[in-house]
Amino acid sequence: MLGFVVTLLVTALSLLIVARLSIGVQIDNAATALIAALVLGLLNAVLRPVLGLIFFPLTILTLGLFALVLNALVLWLTALVVDGFRVRGFLSALLASVLLSLLNAVIFVVLPG
């Protein structure tokens, strides 16, 4: 349970950082970031595996690069679901999803334990 809460907080922090970078992502406040992190986690747990299976041949054909597109789609869908979280377009979603992944990785490396 503690791992889930830490992941949720790290993702919310990463979303807030990405929103400050002026790449087309806007988050109204920290509470919205927490809700967006929760919805993003749920969509990644439920929808992402289904999309990954459906688009597996395309992912193999593009040597895994299509996985970035799937991440962007899930982030964009999160923005459609969560009030106060906006992504300007697909290119913004693509860049934001890459940055979000990198920030999460860096923060988890820095965190003790």
For tokens 């979280």, name the residue. Answer: 85
For residues 25, 66, 7 and 40, what is the CA-based torsion angle, rounded to 10 degrees? 60
What are the CA-CA distances from residue 39 to residues 81, 102, 106 (Å)?
8, 19, 22
**pTM (predicted TM-score):** 0.93
Mean pLDDT of 77-105: 96
User: Mind listing the pLDDT tens digit for each residue in 32-65?
Assistant: 999 999 999 999 999 999 999 999 999 999 999 9
Those residues with Cβ within 8 angstroms of residue 30's Cβ, 6 or more apart along the chain or in another chain: 12, 16
Q: What's the pLDDT at 43?
A: 97
Percent share of the chain, pLDDT over 90: 94
